[in-house]
Amino acid sequence: MKKLNVLSSAIVAAALSAGAVAGGHSTVDKTGWPDSFTVGTASQGGTYFAYGSGWANLVAEELGVSGGGEVTGGPMQNMALVHTGDAAFGMTTMGPARESIDGTNPIAPGLQMTNACAMFPMYQTPFSITTLSSSGITSVADIPDGAKIGFGPAGSTSDTYFPRMLEELGVNFERRNGGWSDLGGQLQDGLLDVIAFAAGVPVPAVSQLEVQTDINIIEFTEAEQAQIMDAFPVSNFEIAADTYTTLDKPARSVSMWNFAIANCDLPESFVYEATKAVMSDNARMVNIHKAARSTLVENYDKNNFMPWHPGAAKWFNENGASIPANLIK
């Protein structure tokens, strides 16, 4: 009888072990995992919302946890939401991330938002200018004095940096804010002269505009590009000709890197599994948005100041990255 009991126990143990392997996530320590999560994105019609909602749904499906994207004011607000834990995850651009960590985020001046951790590199955000072809504006120099320019949601990367860039180039304008889809409608209705986009390409609102009307996508001159790069934390970038049907050649631009962020207090295993879900199959991410072609392990080094979440750092270091210990929370 004793031998039978031992044998039965062994069979049960083997069955449980096989079940754990077959079930995939059964072996993951889920202690402290949230019942649900949100990913702070930005306004509808922008790349953040499309990309962020996509990876939120992917993580929810893979991890078996309810989750989704949330409309927000963009990178600055996302840093605040993730820092406080009002959002588990979010997305930010490296300029706003730096300002937030340094305590100069306009949402909460003086508050150093150090509880938002790096999770994974997303893509570069090019800065681009769109007008109606009927406006006659084909260059930055053509933008009329006092032009009404839409800069996206208040506090967004575009709203934070593009007005300063255009001022640097000597453009005088009236500032307008709103969601990208709304601003696209205002441009068509003649309420705006220009939209200054900072978003991963293709920007859904621009793609929609060029289906509905004739537009110009304005590139910077070499001198303008160099002047902006000297004054702001951006790098050179070309918008590929096949990004929009309007383009017949690459458009000269500048860009800033984006990173997904996680509340630093989230369980290591939760963030590890979420990072794995996003990073382990790039083709699946590219199906969500073409900008994810840059969501690759080798771009981990585009962050050199924001502390990494331990769960994310663990996955990256297991998969070819070399994140130093002093950059892990």
Q: What residue ranges define each of the domains in the chain, with the CATH number in brackets?
A: 36-123+258-327 (3.40.190.10), 125-256 (3.40.190.10)
pLDDT of residue 45: 83
Q: Which of 96-105, 148-157, 254-263, 313-322 has the lowest mean pLDDT?
A: 148-157
Q: Which residues contact residue 134 at a Cβ distance below 8 angstroms, ignoring those fewer than 6 apart?
A: 214
Q: At 146, phi and psi to the nearest 5? A: 80, 15
| pLDDT of 191 strictly over 90 | yes
Cα distances from 241 to residues 247, 251, 287, 288, in angstroms, run: 5, 7, 20, 21
Q: pTM of the predicted model, to two decimals?
A: 0.76
> Average model confidence (pLDDT) for the chain?
91
As a whole number, mean pLDDT of residues 281-308 equals 95
As a whole number, mean pLDDT of residues 122-148 equals 96
As a whole number, mean pLDDT of residues 113-121 equals 98
pLDDT of residue 66: 98
Q: Please, is 195 exposed, middle or buried when counting C-beta atoms within 10 Å of its C-beta (0-12, 13-18, 19+)? A: buried
Between 13 and 76, the higher pLDDT residue:
76
Q: Which of 8-22, 70-84, 153-167, 187-201 has the lowest mean pLDDT?
A: 8-22
pLDDT class for 1, splitting at 50, 70, 90? Answer: very low
Name the one residue in this structure whose structure tokens are 């306004």: 43
pLDDT class for 26, splitting at 50, 70, 90? Answer: low
pLDDT class for 20, splitting at 50, 70, 90? Answer: very low
Distance between CA atoms of residues 268 and 246, nearest Å: 45
| pLDDT of 293 strictly over 70 | yes
Sort strands 251-263 and 173-176 into parallel, antiparallel or unpaired. Answer: unpaired
| pLDDT of 4 strictly over 90 | no
Task: Tell me the three-class secondary structure of 170-215, residue by residue.
Answer: CCCEEEECCCHHHHHHHHHCCCCCEEEEECCCCCHHHHHHHHHCCE
Between 137 and 13, the higher pLDDT residue:
137
pLDDT class for 152, splitting at 50, 70, 90? Answer: very high
pLDDT of residue 213: 96
Q: Which residues contact residue 195 at a Cβ distance below 8 angstroms, ignoring those fewer than 6 apart?
A: 129, 130, 131, 149, 150, 180, 183, 184, 187, 205
